[in-house]
Structure 1
Amino acid sequence: MSAIQDLDNYILLSIKNKMHGYVIDKAMVIITYLGNGGIIWIAISILLMSNEEYRNIGFMTSGTLILSTIIGEGIVKHLVRRIRPCNHLNENKLLISEPKSYSFPSGHTLSSFAVAGVLSVYFAEYSFIFIGIAFLIALSRVYLYVHYPTDVIAGIVLGLLCSKLVFMILQQGCFQKIIVVCN
């Protein structure tokens, strides 16, 4: 486990020493805000729900966001209880407000990849955009020193598993019952 922590720290310090600059600092702050509370994914869900043709996909993305939040923020973070690099290494002045929750997994990353995974199935021609946004949000979390790289990798894996779980639930017909009630 020490080798993984050493690699995490090495990557963080490399980013700190080789990538930071005024423009990219500002860009990463904006990108990470897109993932705060899933705001970009909520906005997309609302847009989809407001269009009758895509309403069910909007409800599905909202459900995916809720499921990923329960799994990441509600369960896994409290089981693992990993301290964030900004608290553990205490070497950097943060460019954003210090997050109060645990570090593992990255909730921003988990929810972004979960929703991007669902949207990519229904809008395959835009999957590069959805996955690209999710990747940039994930990268911003490491860049801003609030997650270790392994937190982000775990968020990607769990997020994609959440999107698969949503499709498994959908195949069982459970999700259609919820959508009918909401419509």
Structure 2
Amino acid sequence: MVISTYLGNGGMIWIIISALLIISKKYRKIGFMAISALILSTILGDGILKHVVKRIRPSASIPAVNLLIVKPLSYSFPSGHTTSSFAVAGVLAKYFKDYTLEFFSLASLIAFSRLYLYVHYPTDVLAGIILGLICSGIIIYVFNKVSYINHNTTPDI
């Protein structure tokens, strides 16, 4: 579980996957969509919601708990690891349908690791899943809308 949670630290696994997609001309747009979903989820989850809700982590309420990871300093709600994982997994699953199970399994493993390591409540993770999927939906919609506009307009002469 420590390794699983480490993969989600700072969205690192999702940044690596996005970067690999961006390098490929064929998958560049999907890579930018994935990184955009990660950025949006970070802004909404870590940047706004955590500071509005200000929920203390479960590990903070029981001092005798020995954490297997470094004690997180931020608030608990929503789970940033979960939010970012489901935001990117949602984008990737949309365009790589054959790997949907793998993307969501990885996102779920990262989310479960946060519960297992006692740094989030179940509702933190549930909110992260919902927010992440909303972020992926927003990014897919926006990119498709912009792509549609760019392909269906003629330049003024």
So what's the TM-score if we normalise by structure 1? 0.79
Q: In structure 2, what is the equivalent of residue 133 of structure 1?
A: 106
After TM superposition, list the pairs within 5 Å mapping 1:142-181 onto structure 2.
Answer: 142-173=115-146
Aligned Cα root-mean-square deviation (Å): 1.6
SS of structure 2 residue aligned to 1:86:
helix
Match of 1:61 among 30, 34, 37: 34
TM-fit CA distance, 1:168: 2.1
C-alpha separation in 2, matches of 1:50 and 1:75:
31
Residues 150-181 of structure 1 deviation map (CA, whole Å, 9 limit, x = unaligned): 1000000111111111122123318998xxxx
Would the aligned equivalents of 1:38 and 1:111 in 2 still touch at CA under 8 Å?
A: yes
Cα 1:168–1:81, aligned 2, differ >3 Å: closer, same or farther? same
Deviation string 1:6-40 (CA, Å, 9 cap, x unpaired) is xxxxxxxxxxxxxxxxxxxxxx0000000000010
Taking the aligned partners of 1:122 and 1:80, their CA distance within structure 2 comes to 34
In structure 2, how many angstroms separate the alpha carbons of the residues matched to 1:37 and 1:163? 17
Structure 1 unmatched runs, 5+: 1-27, 178-183
Stretches of structure 2 that go unaligned for 5 or more consecutive residues are 151-157
- Number of aligned pairs? 150
Tell me the equivalent position of 2:95: 122
The 1:82–1:174 alpha-carbon spacing in structure 2 relative to 1, beyond 3 Å, is: farther
1:39 matches 2:12: yes
SS at match of 1:97: coil
Secondary structure of the structure 2 residue equivalent to 1:53: coil
Structure 2: how far apart are the matches of 1:176 and 1:99?
Answer: 43
1:107 to 80, 85, 104: 80
Deviations 1:95-152 (A, max 9, x none): 0000000000000000000100000000000010000000000000000011011100
Describe the shift of the 1:38–1:79 C-alpha distance in structure 2 as closer, same or farther (beyond 3 A): same
Indicate the residue corresponding to 1:81 in structure 2.
54
Secondary structure of 2:26 counterpart: helix
In the other structure, the counterpart of 1:14 is none
Q: Which aligned runs of 4 or more in structure 1 are off by greater than 3 angstroms?
A: 174-177
Are the equivalent residues in 2 in contact too, given 1:169–1:175 (CA < 8 A)? no
Q: Distance in 2 between matches of 1:174 and 1:80?
A: 36
- Mapped contact 2:33–2:140 kept (Cα < 8 A): no
